[in-house]
Structure formats: structure tokens, C-alpha cells
Amino acid sequence: MAIWVQEDKGIFHLQSKGMSYIIELVNGYPAHVYWGEKLRHGSNLEGLHPLVTGGSLDRLPQEYPQYGTGDFRVPAYQAKLEDGTRVTELRYSGYRVLAGKPKLAGLPAVYVESEEEADTLELILRDDYAKLNVVLRYSVYQEMDVIARSVEFVNDGPAPLQLLRALSTSVDFPAGDMDMIYLSGAWSREGRLTRRQLEQGSTSIESRRGMSSHQHNPFAALAKRGTDERQGEVYGFSLVYSGGFEAVAEVDSFGMTRLTMGVNSLDFSWRLEPGESFQTPEAVMVYSGQGLGEMSRTYHRLYRTRLSRGEYRDKERPILVNNWEATYFDFNTDKLEAIAAEGAKLGIELFVLDDGWFGKRDADNSSLGDWVEDLRKLPGGLSDLAARVNGHGLKFGLWVEPEMISPDSDLYRSHPDWCLHVPGRRRSELRWQLVLDYTREEVREYIYESLSRIFSSVPVAYIKWDMNRCLTEIGSAQLPPERQGETGHRYVLGLYELLERLTSAFPHILFESCCSGGGRFDPGMLYYMPQTWTSDDTDAVERLKIQYGTSLVYPVSSMGAHVSAVPNHQVGRITPLSFRGDVAMSGNFGYELDLTKFTPEEKELVKVQVANYKGIRSLVQQGNLYRLQSPFEGNETAWMFVSDDQREALVYYFRVLAEPHPPRRSLLLSGLNPELDYRLTDSGEVYGGDRLMQAGLALPEIQRDFVSGCFRLLAEA
């Protein structure tokens, strides 16, 4: 049992393998009194929080706080009633305990494969005056220290009301001496690990771009001071959502910290007619008492096996070559086939045709929305190209950008009202494109039919689903004035509906999401597409930071990583092919360059890389990741992958710049069994797991820039 209820004391105890989360009713308010290491349920759990008795609402650690009745901290929700007032007060009304984990209507969420994996607590709150019912849902996993939270609002009254704010989670911590850790950045600079000490006041991250964004990922963690990769307490919050979001950590004047997360309240409203309901996205909360590394591995296991779905969830991902940086828009069937043919000789398994194959797409200023082959470039169409690629033993993949429309397109000329826009206002073009209005059923139906025609007639095995701009002029010609504030969220719901249809209709296709790289690397997209193009920046040195930071919450199986040409197209850096390969092999491996331009020596090295990756990819994609040295803290980076049974491990080490007369270095490993002996497959040397973790693995002395090393360890029988 994962949920214990003491009705006489008003205590709800959510318990997993190593964690407890406890709620106590105080004067009709659900109060948050404990979240941390597992507590025995039989022990006295009353009075865990020093502030739960007496005092004002401003000092009560609430589970779902409101504004306007005495709590002046950041609220979790706000509703506007028909009379214009904005004061509500939710009180406890009842509870339900459910076996398993129910689905969320129209939204992605983590799931269970059997009811025994999790239990769900529903706390029912009510405002009698507004006739507003609010259901707080907590699903706790038995074997993982995870709680998935969401909220459902139900208008039980005779009059409509307007939600102005509807967040997914709110947690009050008794202490303010914590750090907030999050991922920041920009296009081609995603996944920057940022750590900020909390002080009195608010620290916030958000996206106002209609997507989760390159600037901030929908993830935040609160860590006790001194917490690092291997030790200390940390509390993770990850929003399963692909639109604008907000996460705020507020330290009040009494030293308490409140963390709230959910759909961004800016430009959000939702009209609830009598009898209607609104469901928030899900926030996935993870506790670790063993540092950031254990928090990450919990997220990885959960998102890899209980968020991602479909045929490829547990399958090894194919090694691919993408033609984008090889040809950009300048290609023909023969040129593409030549790259595929060379890939076959090197052992590559999938050829991906990127942008430029449709309409009259000779540059990025036209044709989005016209999903018909350009017969000037492909005289035999996609079917002919796919047949040629398949003839060389490779599967065929395709790039699409279905959420966009070019003003210079047949679709726009026929339906200029199908884009997001506000009447009388200019339509901001970013990258010469506008955004289709996915709140409209006819728009989604057009895209579904256009893509289904291709997927049904061409042997497509892989789709790269791109999105190359954020949302502006967020309005819909189809929604009435009082519902215009719903446009942004309805866009995301429309996207999810379309993705559910397509991925269900074509389960054999491996879908990879992309948003100018990592601009929409979020759990919502991973529910439909098990991997994401991590960044448009393919420089190996930059990728050390991008992939290290992204791994804070997302599994390696979700990260696309490619070897590209040098000088690198984003930063102009020249790095060895071996270094580029080792970085890319720490993700879903592939190449993005013209294979026909390799020298004979480079081709031999690529053959070795491809063959080596085929031997390790199950461990890389499905193993447990341990981060050993951070690229954000120095010149060296290291990480390793360990099998579940701890009998196999793979260590990658990277040094960016050479140093004069450096000291001898050893790398402390993690995650091994201290009782086992491990053999280095290259040298045959045998070391105890305890030695490797306490004294380290000696690193080779190589004096040049851009050094990388890969060490494979196998346990002795």
C-alpha cells in the first residue's frame, strides 16, 4: 500500500520505497507537513510541521493556496466569479483512494502498466459560495520516489466562472536555506545548468513563448545547501507540458519556501460553464536523499519506461545519417542516394531526408503547409527515393514542420485565416513563417490527412517533427471574445490530439521531436515521441554542456546526438572525428554531414564508431547514467553508464584543452558493485569495484586539445 489515511487525525501519508509525503488537515485546509526520507506509518505523525497550529494563513504550509483570504504568498490558482469578484476559499470536502493511476483527459502523463505500481489520492476541496469543486490528485509510485500531481476544477454552480490561474502543484517547505537548480540557455545553447541560492523574495523561470522554450526548460529542483551529485537532499519538479509555463520559488519573511509550477498565468484564462471542468497538466515530483544523480536516475527510469510509449520505447534506436548539413536545400535524388549508399558501406541503418523536399522549398521562406513532393528535385517522388534508400539496406526517414505555414504557400493563399492572428494587427513573421491555429479542428484535419497520405504511400520509418518559431499574436478566429485567453492552451491541446492520432495510426514510425533543436524538449512531447533533437548546435565541445545539462532530468534515450562536419557550422571549431564520435555516442547516435566527402582514413574510423556503438547502445540508451565531472565546472567532463545488474559499465572522459605539465589524474567511478572485480576490455586489467569508486581509474596522458577516452568494464564471472 502506498497511501495511508488516518481519518480521525486528518492525516494522509503517501509512501514509496524510500520516501514519505504527508498532508494534515488544519482547520479545514490541507497543510503540507512533510516530504523526505521514508517514515514508518505506525509512528506518531502529528505535529510534524511547527507552523500547522495557530497563526494566520500567511504562515500555514498549504497544499493548494488561494489569494485574498490572508495568504499573501504566490497563489496556486485564482478564479473570477460572475459578479466580478476574485476571492475564493477552498476547504476540505472529502477524499478518495484509487488503485493505480487514472489517465488525464486530453493530456500526456506518466502511466502505470498494472494497478500495483501506484496508488492515487484525490483530495476534494470546495468553495460553497462559488460552487467550485477542486480535486487535487496525487499518484505515488511504489518502487520509485515519485509523486505525480495535477488538479481538476469543476464548476458545480448555475453561473459561469473564469479561471485566471490554475497551477499544477504547490509545495511549502519549512526552510529557506535552499538552492534552486534549473536549465537555462538560448537557441544552440540549451541545457545550461544554473544554480541560484534562494533568499527572501521570488526566483522564477518561465516561458511566455507558447512553447517550453530554449530559454528555460519546464523543470526546477530545490536542493539543500551542499547537495551535489552524490549526496544531499533534492526535490525535483518537472511539468508534463509543451506550452508556456511558470515555476516560482518564493522565500517568505518567516524563512519558508513555496515552490509553484504550472501553465503560465500570463495571457491565460479559461471560462468554465456550469457543469464543465478544467484539467491542469501534470507535475512530476521526485525526491532524492542521495544527491542530484539519484534524482536524475529516478526521472530517467520513469520517463524512459512510464512516459514514453510505443514500439520504440524499449527498442535500440537506429544509427542514422541526416542530409541537412550535407546539402541544406540543394539536393537531388542522385545526391541523396549517394549519401545513403556510402552510409550502407559504413554500417549506418537509417537515412533521413531533411528540409526542402516539398512545395517550392529552395530556401526557408516558402512552402510550409504544402506537403507535396517537389518533383524538380525528386522526379520520382518520395517513393522512388525511399525505394533507392531501402535498396541499399537503409530505412528511410523524413523531416516535417507541420505546425507552420509560409505566407508564400498555396495553403496560405487558400486559407489566410488558418494561422494564429489577431484581427487588425500585423502578423509577425519569424523565419518567414506563421503558426497554424491548432485550436481549429479543420486545420488539424488538413495536417492529419496530408501527413497520412505520405505515411501510407511511402515506407517511412522515422519522422523528425520540427517547430522553428514561437507563438505570437496568440488569438483564434474561431474562439469568441470571452475565450481568447484560452488560445495558447487550446493550441497545445490541439497539438496533443493530432499527435495521438498520428502516432496511433502509424505505430511503426519512430517519431523524433525538434523545435529549432531543444526549444520544446519537454515531457509532454516525450509522451508521443520517445526522442528529441537535443540542439541545433552539433559542436562536440558545446554538446558536452548541452547533453550534461539535459541529463539532469531527461534520459539519454531521449537525446539525439550527431557527428557533424568541421569546421563546425555553428561555432567554426575544428575537433577530431574521434572526439566528436565519443560525444555523440553518449546519446542516440548519428551523423549529419556528407559521408561521400570522408577520406579513406575517416571512413575506417566511422566504421569502427558505428560497429562499437552497435555493441554498446543498449547500455547507453537503457543503462543508468552517472555524471562524474561537470563541463560547467572545469576543463574536463566525464560520465558513465551502468547496467541494472552492475555487471557492465561504460565510461567516457573528455578534456577540452591541453595543459602544460599536468598532474597525473584518476577518475572516481560510481554505480559499480564494490564486491565485484571488473576487467577493462581494452587492456585486460582487472580492478575491484571498490577501488574504482574510491581510488579511481587512472587516465592516459595525452598532450593535445580535444582528448576523449572510452573505457568498457565487464564484471568477472
Let me know: does 150 contact 282? Beta carbons within 8 Å.
yes
How far apart (Å, rounded) are the C-alpha atoms in residues 585 and 582?
5
Please report which helix (H) or strand (E) contains residue 173, including its range.
strand 161-173
What does the block give as the cell for 11? Answer: 492525516
How far apart (Å, rounded) are the C-alpha atoms in residues 315 and 212?
27
> Treating both helix axes as pointing N-terminal to C-terminal, what angle do 600-622 and 333-346 enclose, rounded to 10 degrees?
70
Block residue for cell numbers 557492465:
648
The phi-psi region of residue 109 (left if phi > 0; otherwise alpha if psi is between -120 and 50; otherwise beta) is beta
How far apart (Å, rounded) are the C-alpha atoms in residues 213 and 190?
9
Residue of 252, 370, 374, 536 marked active site:
536
Strand partners, 95: 123
How far apart (Å, rounded) are the C-alpha atoms in residues 580 and 320?
15
Give 620-636 as a DSSP string: HHHSEEEEEE-TTSSSE
Q: What angle do CA 529, 530, 532 make, to 5 degrees?
A: 80
Please measure the distance between the N-terminal and C-terminal CA atoms of the chain and give it in whole angstroms.
38
Is residue 536 annotated as part of the catalytic site, yes or no? yes
Strand partners, 170: 260
What does the block give as the cell for 542? Answer: 558545446
Phi, psi of 447 (to 5 degrees): -65, -40
Block residue for cell numbers 499574436:
473
Residue of 71, 127, 355, 466 marked active site:
466
Is residue 466 annotated as part of the catalytic site, yes or no? yes
Please report which helix (H) or strand (E) contains residue 487, including its range.
helix 487-505
How far apart (Å, rounded) are the C-alpha atoms in residues 498 and 152?
23
How far apart (Å, rounded) are the C-alpha atoms in residues 155 and 692?
60
Give 220-275 as a DSSP string: EEEEETT--SSSB-EEEEEEE-SS-EEEEEEE-TTS-EEEEEEE--TT--EEE-TT
How far apart (Å, rounded) are the C-alpha atoms in residues 44 and 34?
13
Q: What are the angstrom distances between the C-alpha of 8 and each of 14, 28, 40, 46, 460? A: 17, 13, 18, 11, 60
How far apart (Å, rounded) are the C-alpha atoms in residues 183 and 237?
12
Please report which helix (H) or strand (E) contains residue 222, including its range.
strand 216-224
How far apart (Å, rounded) are the C-alpha atoms in residues 268 and 88?
18
3-state DSSP of 594-618: CHHHCCHHHHHHHHHHHHHHHHHHH
| Residues belonging to the active site | 466, 536
